[in-house]
Amino acid sequence: MKGLVKFEPSSYYHVINHAVGSENLFRCDENYRYFLRKYAQYMPSVCSTFCYCLMPNHILFLIRTIDEEAALKHPKFKNDYHKLVMQELSNLLNAYAKAYNKKYERKGGLWIDYTKRFKIESDSYLTSVINYIHQNPVKHTFTKDLRDWSYSSYWSHLSEKPSLLARKEVISWFGGAKEFADFHTSNNVGLLEEWELFN
């Protein structure tokens, strides 16, 4: 199935997961903030995060996995690099689902059974993924301007507040903060149709 490649060391991936059926993953601001706290608890040990967007019914991330040497030192490593990354990802999703179910007195799965991941192997693809992720709220008509969506990394990249994001790498990739912002303004959601990945 498309989007189920194995995680490999020191590689870039576009990672996507979706709510089961027509469920929403996030019902209020605190849900979004709680998910990000859990993300900060589980994922930095296995990847750097370049950008993200949390939508009411799906999540998108651009990550770069840790190198092989770091994986070998990871306390949960058991001779399978892919399983290590997947385990931390699974721990994240399960921890959030458990808290969500308890808060809203619901039962059953919250996420679809598989997290899609697409390996990024070209500079142009990497640039497009960053833009695609930040444009997602516009694409799905949750807002008309990506700058109005509170639950993506767009503004974090333009901030000087402490962040777990690989902010300096992303901004330098575009040539500076102004160039980063200008690229997103100039390359809006209409240009992204050719590589809608989740369908």
Cβ contact 11:119 at 8 Å: yes
Question: Which one has a higher pLDDT value, 193 or 39?
Answer: 39
Q: For the whole prediction, is pTM greater than 0.85?
A: yes
On the question of pLDDT at 193 being above 90, the answer is no
Could you tell me where the DSSP H helices lie in the chain? 29-42, 68-73, 81-104, 123-139, 154-157, 167-174, 177-186
Joined together, the tokens standing for residue 159 give 């901030």
Residues 6+ apart with CB under 8 A from 190: none
The CATH number assigned to the domain with range 12-194 reads 3.30.70.1290
Q: How far apart are CA 27 and CA 30, in angstroms?
A: 8
* Percent of the chain topping pLDDT 70: 93
Quote the CA–CA distance of 155 and 65 in Å, as a whole number.
23
Task: Give the start-to-end residue ranges of the domains of the chain.
Answer: 12-194
User: Helix (H) and strand (E) counts for the chain?
Assistant: 7, 4
Percentage of residues in the chain having pLDDT higher than 90: 82
pLDDT at 181: 95
Residue 2's pLDDT is 77
CA distance 48 to 44: 6
